[in-house]
Amino acid sequence: MQFDKQAPSLRKTNRMAGLARDWRLYLMLALPIFWYLLFCYKPMVGLIIAFQKYNLFKGMWGSKWVGLENFRFTMQMSDFSYALVNTLWLNLLGLVCGFPVPIILAIMLNEMRSVGTKKVFQTLLYLPHFLSWIIIGGMVLQIFSPTSGIINATLLRWGWIDKSIPFLTDGPHWQATYTLVGVWQGMGWGTILYLSAITGINMELFEAAKIDGANKMQQIWHVTLPGIRSTIVVLLILNIGQMMNISFDRPQILGNAQVRKFCDVLSTFVYRTGIENHKFERATAIGLFQSLVGLILISGANFITKRLGEEGIW
Amino acid sequence: MKKILALLLTLALLLGMTGTVAVADDDWITLRVETYDREITGLDVTDCWQLHYAQEHFGDPNHIKLEFVSYARWTEGDLLTNALAGGTAPDICVTYNGSLVQQCIDDEGIWQLDDLIAEYGPNLRAFLGDELLGYGQSDHDGDGTKEQWFIPARRISVANVGNFIREDWLKALNMEKPTNVEEFTAYLRAAKEAKLAGENTMPFSFGIYVPDPLYNVRRFTDAWVDFSQVTEEDWFAYARNPEMLPGAKEGFRWLNTLYHEGLLPDTFALSDNDKANDTALIMGYNGFFSQQPDQPWRTDKNYQIELEKNVPEGHWVTVNPFKNESLGGKTLHDIYAANGLSIIIPLTTDEKTAVAAMKYLDWMAVPENMFAMQNGIEGINYEGISPELGIPYGVKSADAVPNENKMHAGDICFISNGLYYGSDEKNSAALALPFAGYEEDVVASYVDALTDAWTQISFTVAIQAETDYGSTIKSKQGEFLAAVVSCDPAEFDAVYDAGVQDILNSGAQQMIDEFREAYKEGNYRGVFPGNL
């Protein structure tokens, strides 16, 4: 497509002309917008059941209004507080341990000379992202089980340890296992955005740095990292906005009764007290609460970033 | 070109969104019936022999078009909840999810069935009996009389507990079948000592049943309960908290001892452990397990036949060591209540169709119709009818029957949970029928399962605290079980007490109080073992 270079007074007519010319493309764009309206905005109306005693058959327009009762009930439940703490703690661990890894990996991949080796490593790194947590859960059990897991069995046989390491059966150990498995699963996929950001860096900068005598590490530090800084910042803000959200399958599958106090998070709590009991209004109340906190976090992170002179996400 | 492509894509997507509109033509009505799908190879539940049979003998004469709606068996509760909320539920819904049924009653979304049964369900009433029908009645409007909200299916076999021990291991150890916990523990220790399955020997197969962790554990720990300290009222008040009954603590201590002696697997608390446990049973690593009374011979998990493939002399036999001294040596076994799944008709079904639904259930209850729906055709699904027993013999397994004749008795003829032949004797004789070659073992197992049997507890009023906290308590009980079994024996008392306190604080106290209240008002069912 060409850029029209006409006087500002004519812009409006040009827009109409553009619409007339490209209406098929706009129509195509309308579909994802429609999708968003239908699946992301329309369901928001359903949030009102968080303030109702939801009747399965009368639906959200016919159910009784109860104000903040659902919030009060779920938040006073003994499990709620540590589900909340665990959610924040596990996400924080994931962020601290998991956020830098894709950046480092992307830089390392970028520095690889042989295209073939790079492709092989990339594929191997992406692979875990495509495994469902059910499968990973099975693998984790095989590897980390007490006594019979590969690691414990091997270490026990070699006599390096005389008691198996409770990777899955002791709270803090479990949280470490959970975090590391998550980092392993997500790190390859996370490199994609950084790799494309690195591709966007002007090659002349590297050449100039080389001429100035910068070695590899100095090039990375002074050219690559500043070049992808805005990507890093945006992803960090988005990640902070997700601090209150935690997937259901990962803690549910990796968790077990022995470490319940350490693995119970908001999503599993909501499933147990809201979905299993058919108390959808309570599940909705917690969901709304999570979203509100998420909104505050993301706005805060964005505000601070802008204050620090970076570009935010809006 | 791109523009045309974009337009075509858009049109294709838009077309995909529009549905087709069904047109009704004459006085025929469509009756949609929920049918469980267990993914049995070759059986299409929406187009199966039983559907055609029912259509021919019931549908066509009554101008009713039957339609079976398939719901995956293990997610039926969620699927049905969604369908009910969306107003798309079948006209006849069946579910094992009691809390969903209670929700439907509370939310007034289902037909009150009294009039329909009175007018159109004489055979159904005769088959179920008034006592069983009572399970589906409750006083929702508070006027003092109970209304019929759901139809409980009749459960033919109520046995629930099956404890099994390896007869070949007993022989190898030169031991008798244990008759009490001491002898049983000695057996487990001896098996471990003798390494009867080599390094993999794990005498006691044990895991946490996550949906209800103490459901299968109380069959052990109840043996330690001191019934001199338990009143009938307590028994019902602690209906969902067997861990709090006086004396039960020692039962958990026993499990703790087994754990620390390496007699039960240290992976017992890990989720997804069932597969590993199944494998261990089949490989012959275990000397004991506890599940359903017909479990070793079931077609879906055939521990006996699979074991024989790996250990030719391997032989599971029933065992009954959990003797309660405070009850004079009774070996308690819990049994199911007489009701099976629940049948409801949602209010989205119009009156004409609701009448058709009741007629269909009534037709199903007529003995010859039920016989056909449960057994299929002579010569195809079974060889013939035994003259002395009056029940079919030579029952074919599913893979020996052609696809167009494949069937599932219980899921489709759902007013009866189990095969029904008209009398208790015939019904129990039929229990062993599908397990040719193991009839004696099966019968012995059922005899044990019904020894000193107490019927599981249920309440005839909605227990609000159970709706609110039930799932939390079960989850806490899993945590509790994992903790008391695996903790350091020196800390056992502290861990046990803290666990009980945690469960009480998480809503169990409210549940216990409400159960107690319901008991005092007579709104309960079940049996107190002290009365056996």
Three-state SS across B35-59? EEECCCCCCCCCCCHHHHHHHHHHH
User: What does the alpha-carbon distance between residue A5 and residue A142 come to, in Å, rounded to a whole number?
Assistant: 65
B484 vs A85, B247, B320, CA distance in Å? 25, 15, 24
Chain A within 8 Å of B1 (Cβ-Cβ)? no
The architecture (CATH level 2) of B25-156+339-439 comes to 3-Layer(aba) Sandwich (3.40)
- Average pLDDT value over all residues in chain B: 91
Q: Using the beta-carbon criterion (under 8 Å), do A31 and B99 form an inter-chain contact?
A: no
Q: Which residue has the tokens 């059990």?
A: A141
B288-291 and B316-318 strand pairing: unpaired
Please tell me the predicted confidence (pLDDT) of residue B20.
42
Question: Which two tokens mark B366?
Answer: 């007529």
B64 pairs with which residues across the strands? Answer: B29
Chain A within 8 Å of B7 (Cβ-Cβ)? yes
Instruction: Give the pLDDT band (50/70/90) at residue A1.
Output: very low
| Residue A272 CB neighbour total at 10 angstroms | 21
- Rounded to an integer, the average pLDDT of A192-205 is 92
CA distance B434 to chain A (A): 34
Q: Using the beta-carbon criterion (under 8 Å), do B270 and A255 form an inter-chain contact?
A: no
Q: Are A179 and A202 in contact (CB under 8 A)?
A: no
Question: Which two tokens mark B115?
Answer: 């009039």
DSSP letter assigned to residue A5: -
DSSP A193-205: HHHHHHHTS-HHH
- Nearest 5°: CA angle at B311, between B310 and B316? 115
B416-417 and B151-155 strand pairing: parallel
Cα B404 to the chain's mean position, in Å?
28
Q: Are B113 and B148 in contact (CB under 8 A)?
A: yes
How many pairs of residues across A and B have Cβ atoms under 8 Å apart? Answer: 115
For the CA atoms of A208, A211, A216, A219, the dihedral, rounded to the nearest 10 degrees, stands at: -30
Please tell me the predicted confidence (pLDDT) of residue B21.
43
ipTM reported for the complex, 2 dp: 0.83
Q: Using the beta-carbon criterion (under 8 Å), do A169 and B269 form an inter-chain contact?
A: yes
Q: Using the beta-carbon criterion (under 8 Å), do B81 and A278 form an inter-chain contact?
A: yes
Low-confidence ranges of chain B (pLDDT < 50): 19-24
Q: Which of B271, B505, B510 is the best substitution to test chain A (most A C-beta atoms within 10 A)?
A: B271
Q: Using the beta-carbon criterion (under 8 Å), do B270 and A169 form an inter-chain contact?
A: yes
- Rounded to an integer, the average pLDDT of A161-176 is 92
DSSP B280-341: HHHHT--SEEEE-TTGGG-SSS-HHHHHHHHSTT--EEE----EEGGGTSEE-EEE--SEEE
User: What does the alpha-carbon distance between residue A4 and residue A6 come to, in Å, rounded to a whole number?
Assistant: 6
Question: Which two tokens mark B235?
Answer: 């028994």
Q: Which of A24, A82, A156, A278 is the best substitution to test chain B (most B C-beta atoms within 10 A)?
A: A278
Using a CB-CB distance cutoff of 8 angstroms, which residues of chain B are in contact with residue A171? none
CA distance B159 to chain A (A): 27
Using a CB-CB distance cutoff of 8 angstroms, which residues of chain B are in contact with residue A25? 3, 6
Chain B within 8 Å of A260 (Cβ-Cβ)? yes
For A240-265, how does the pLDDT look when each residue is reduced to its tens digit (9 = 90+)?
Answer: 888 888 999 999 999 999 999 999 99
Chain B within 8 Å of A253 (Cβ-Cβ)? yes
Q: Using the beta-carbon criterion (under 8 Å), do B267 and A148 form an inter-chain contact?
A: yes
Sign for the CA dihedral angle at B276, B277, B283, B285 comes to: positive
Please tell me the predicted confidence (pLDDT) of residue B19.
44
For B32-65, how does the pLDDT look when each residue is reduced to its tens digit (9 = 90+)?
Answer: 999 999 888 888 999 999 999 999 999 999 999 9
The architecture (CATH level 2) of B162-332+454-531 comes to 3-Layer(aba) Sandwich (3.40)
Q: Are B240 and B249 in contact (CB under 8 A)?
A: no
Q: In chain A, what's the furthest Cα-to-Cα distance?
A: 83
Amino acid (one-letter) located at B164: F
> Could you give the domains of chain A?
69-307 (1.10.3720.10)
Nearest beta carbon to residue B478 from set A55, A73, A260: A260
Q: Using the beta-carbon criterion (under 8 Å), do B210 and A255 form an inter-chain contact?
A: no
Helices then strands, counting H and E runs in chain A, come out as 18, 2
Q: Using the beta-carbon criterion (under 8 Å), do A272 and B103 form an inter-chain contact?
A: no
Q: Which residues contact B493 (CB under 8 A, 6 or more apart)?
A: none
3-state secondary structure B265-277: CCCCCCCCCHHHH
User: What does the alpha-carbon distance between residue A291 and residue B323 come to, in Å, rounded to a whole number?
Assistant: 54
Tell me which residues of chain B, numbers 88 to 147, contact chain A at a CB-CB cutoff of 8 Å: 99-100, 103-104, 107-109
User: What does the alpha-carbon distance between residue B155 and residue B458 come to, in Å, rounded to a whole number?
Assistant: 15
Q: Which residue of A has its CA nearest to B485?
A: A258
For the CA atoms of B515, B517, B521, B522, the dihedral, rounded to the nearest 10 degrees, stands at: 20
Rounded to the nearest 10 degrees, the angle between the axes of helix B98-106 and helix B76-86 is 20
Q: In chain B, what's the furthest Cα-to-Cα distance?
A: 89
Please tell me the predicted confidence (pLDDT) of residue B501.
97
Please tell me the predicted confidence (pLDDT) of residue B22.
46
User: What does the alpha-carbon distance between residue B500 and residue B481 come to, in Å, rounded to a whole number?
Assistant: 10
Q: Using the beta-carbon criterion (under 8 Å), do A24 and B213 form an inter-chain contact?
A: no
Q: Using the beta-carbon criterion (under 8 Å), do B210 and A257 form an inter-chain contact?
A: yes
Question: Which two tokens mark B199?
Answer: 């390094």
Tell me which residues of chain B, numbers 160 to 179, contact chain A at a CB-CB cutoff of 8 Å: none
Please tell me the predicted confidence (pLDDT) of residue B432.
79
Residue A2 buriedness (CB in 10 A; 0-12 / 13-18 / 19+): exposed
Sign for the CA dihedral angle at B338, B341, B346, B350 comes to: negative
CATH 3.40.190.10 domain span(s) along chain B: 25-156+339-439, 162-332+454-531
Please tell me the predicted confidence (pLDDT) of residue B379.
92
Please tell me the predicted confidence (pLDDT) of residue B9.
59
Chain B within 8 Å of A77 (Cβ-Cβ)? yes
Chain B within 8 Å of A279 (Cβ-Cβ)? yes
CA distance B87 to chain A (A): 8
Chain B within 8 Å of A258 (Cβ-Cβ)? yes
Judge whether residue A278 has pLDDT over 90.
no
User: What does the alpha-carbon distance between residue A201 and residue A224 come to, in Å, rounded to a whole number?
Assistant: 7
Please tell me the predicted confidence (pLDDT) of residue B23.
46
CA distance A163 to chain B (A): 12
pTM of the model as a whole: 0.86
Closest listed residue to residue B529, CA positions, set B325, B293, B235: B235
Nearest beta carbon to residue B479 from set A31, A146, A257: A257
B67 pairs with which residues across the strands? Answer: B32
Q: Are A255 and A268 in contact (CB under 8 A)?
A: yes
Chain A within 8 Å of B6 (Cβ-Cβ)? yes
DSSP letter assigned to residue A222: I
Q: Are B412 and B45 in contact (CB under 8 A)?
A: yes
B458 pairs with which residues across the strands? Answer: B525
Cα B423 to the chain's mean position, in Å?
22
B166 pairs with which residues across the strands? Answer: B316
Backbone angles phi, psi at B459, to 5 degrees: -120, 145
- 3-state DSSP assignment of residue B192: helix
Please tell me the predicted confidence (pLDDT) of residue B15.
57
- Rounded to an integer, the average pLDDT of A77-105 is 94
User: What does the alpha-carbon distance between residue A132 and residue B273 come to, in Å, rounded to a whole number?
Assistant: 18
CA distance A176 to chain B (A): 17
Please tell me the predicted confidence (pLDDT) of residue B28.
93
